[in-house]
A and B are shown apart, each in its own frame.
Chain A
Amino acid sequence: MAETALINNVEPPARPAGWRGIAADWSSDQRAFKNVSWGKAMMWIFLLSDTFIFSCFLLSYMTTRMSTTVPWPNPSEVFALTIGGQQIPLILIAIMTFILISSSGTMAMAVNFGYRRDRAKTAALMLATAAFGATFVGMQAFEWTKLIMEGVRPWGNPWGATQFGSSFFMITGFHGTHVTIGVIFLIAIARKVWRGDFDVERRGFFTSRKGHYEIVEITGLYWHFVDLVWVFIFALFYLW
């Protein structure tokens, strides 16, 4: 027994991998997520709950679209733009998709430079991400304006099933809100990075705790999730 105690005092043994690792982590004392900080774990759990919210929106959209006897408006035509006298289907949505993917790319690199403690590059990439996000919201506002001018309302539209409007405003509106909150989140954290809060371990105004560069990764998790939700909306609402 004495030897057992001695072994435990030397250094924590490496955790097993695979299925055995899952059993070991979940049945262990105190915490199930061994090498993940509470901040990161809580962001993941929040994103899981957000997944369910968006799942419910997309499910209700699926249910109304499958059960209506009135033809569903063709998104390819509804979201087409006339550029230079030519009608290009879905072009605005395609551009918005590329903008959001680009913002995810800059965010991933910001996380990388954050862990290298490169203040300037991290802040610059985060602000670039925020700029892409703001552009996306701007284009969404344009899209909403165009559709509302054409007579789309939550209770009806000129082309077909009345539920088209309510599904559209609910799903894209909630996603746009997430992007907007993400832009604010990014700017707030970019300011802290730029000021060097995580190098001098300045205490937070609200929490009085020392921040770490890990917050850049946690912000990134939220931002990539917003991009992830758009992947599903793009496929299931605009392309289907």
Chain B
Amino acid sequence: MTNVAVHLEAQQHSLQAHVHDALAPGTTHTQGQQHPIKLYLVVWGWLFVLSTCSYLVDYFGLHGHLRWSLILLFMMLKAGLIVAVFMHMAWERLALAYAILLPPALVLVFVAIMVFESDYTHLLRVMFFAQTA
């Protein structure tokens, strides 16, 4: 019985020591999110630049894989800035970040399924419903 108690105590101490070592910056925000205004203005500026870039993709009429990859790149950069800085996800604990950000990533599986499905539908339409001139 005493052995067990000693063992538990030792565990408790090692856990505490570890906890203090691993304290990451940003985990101490308990009084609400407080960051310098300048940070928001810089992100605001970047969102303007990225939006202009994605508009220019259309304005200059880029086509094919270059167009699609640029659109997706600017989209993901803008989404990342909004979620990380404006919505403060960068400073939240990982338990919340992963709980919120992982499920939408699974939507990509749904996307893959529907790509196969619509390719199949398209094939059937071309094969059986094509208008004969």
Where the two chains meet, the residues of A that have a C-beta atom closer than 8 Å to any C-beta of B are: 1, 3-4, 7, 13-22, 25-26, 32-36, 41, 44-45, 47-48, 51-52, 55, 59, 62-64, 66-69, 76, 89-90, 94, 97-98, 101-102, 104-105, 107-109, 111-112, 115-116, 213-214, 217, 220-221, 224-225, 227-228, 231-232, 234-236, 238-240
Q: Can you name 6 extra interface pairs (CB under 8 A) apart from A51-B103, A76-B58?
A: A3-B9, A14-B23, A45-B100, A51-B107, A52-B107, A228-B87
A63 B117 Cβ-Cβ under 8 A: yes
Residues of A within 8 A of B68 (CB): 240
Q: CB-nearest residue of chain A relative to B130?
A: A69
Cβ contacts A to B, 16 pairs, < 8 Å:
A22-B94, A55-B110, A59-B110, A63-B118, A67-B125, A68-B125, A90-B55, A97-B51, A101-B44, A104-B82, A217-B33, A220-B86, A227-B86, A228-B87, A234-B75, A239-B54
Question: Whole-angstrom distance from the CB of A12 to the nearest CB of chain B?
Answer: 10
Question: Whole-angstrom distance from the CB of A147 to the nearest CB of chain B?
Answer: 18
Complex CA distance for A48 and B94, rounded to whole angstroms: 16
Which residues of chain B (47-83) have a CB below 8 Å from chain A? 47-48, 51, 54-55, 57-59, 61, 68, 71-72, 74-75, 78-79, 82-83
Residues of A within 8 A of B32 (CB): 115, 213-214, 217
B99 A32 Cβ-Cβ under 8 A: yes
A14, A68, A108, A221 — most chain B CB neighbours (10 Å): A108
Residues of B within 8 A of A90 (CB): 55, 58-59
Q: CB-nearest residue of chain A relative to B34?
A: A115
Residues of B within 8 A of A66 (CB): 115, 118-119, 122
Main secondary structure of the interface of A (DSSP, over half): helix
User: Is B90 part of the contact surface with A, judged by Cβ < 8 Å?
Assistant: no
Question: Whole-angstrom distance from the CB of B26 to the nearest CB of chain A?
Answer: 9
Q: Name the one of B19, B33, B95, B111 contacting A59, with C-beta atoms under 8 angstroms.
A: B111
Complex CA distance for A18 and B95, rounded to whole angstroms: 9
Q: CB-nearest residue of chain A relative to B59?
A: A89
Complex CA distance for A22 and B8, rounded to whole angstroms: 23
Count residues of chain B with CB under 8 A from any CB of chain A.
71
Residues of B within 8 A of A22 (CB): 94-95, 98
A235 B72 Cβ-Cβ under 8 A: yes
When A109-B40, A112-B34, A239-B54 are in contact, do A55 and B99 touch as well, CB less than 8 Å?
no
Residues of A within 8 A of B71 (CB): 235, 239-240
Which residues of chain B (1-37) have a CB below 8 Å from chain A? 5, 8-9, 12, 16, 18-20, 22-24, 27-35, 37
When A32-B95, A63-B118 are in contact, do A228 and B54 touch as well, CB less than 8 Å?
no
A55 B104 Cβ-Cβ under 8 A: yes
B93 A105 Cβ-Cβ under 8 A: no
Question: Whole-angstrom distance from the CB of B53 to the nearest CB of chain A?
Answer: 11
B24 A4 Cβ-Cβ under 8 A: no
Complex CA distance for A145 and B61, rounded to whole angstroms: 26
User: Is B96 part of the contact surface with A, judged by Cβ < 8 Å?
Assistant: yes
Q: Name the one of B33, B51, B75, B107 contacting A94, with C-beta atoms under 8 angstroms.
A: B51
Residues of B within 8 A of A214 (CB): 32
A63 B114 Cβ-Cβ under 8 A: yes
Q: Name the one of B23, B29, B75 contacting A231, with C-beta atoms under 8 angstroms.
A: B75
The list of the 5 closest CB pairs from A to B, nearest first, reads A17-B24, A25-B95, A66-B118, A235-B75, A105-B44
Complex CA distance for A24 and B44, rounded to whole angstroms: 35
Q: CB-nearest residue of chain B relative to A49?
A: B103
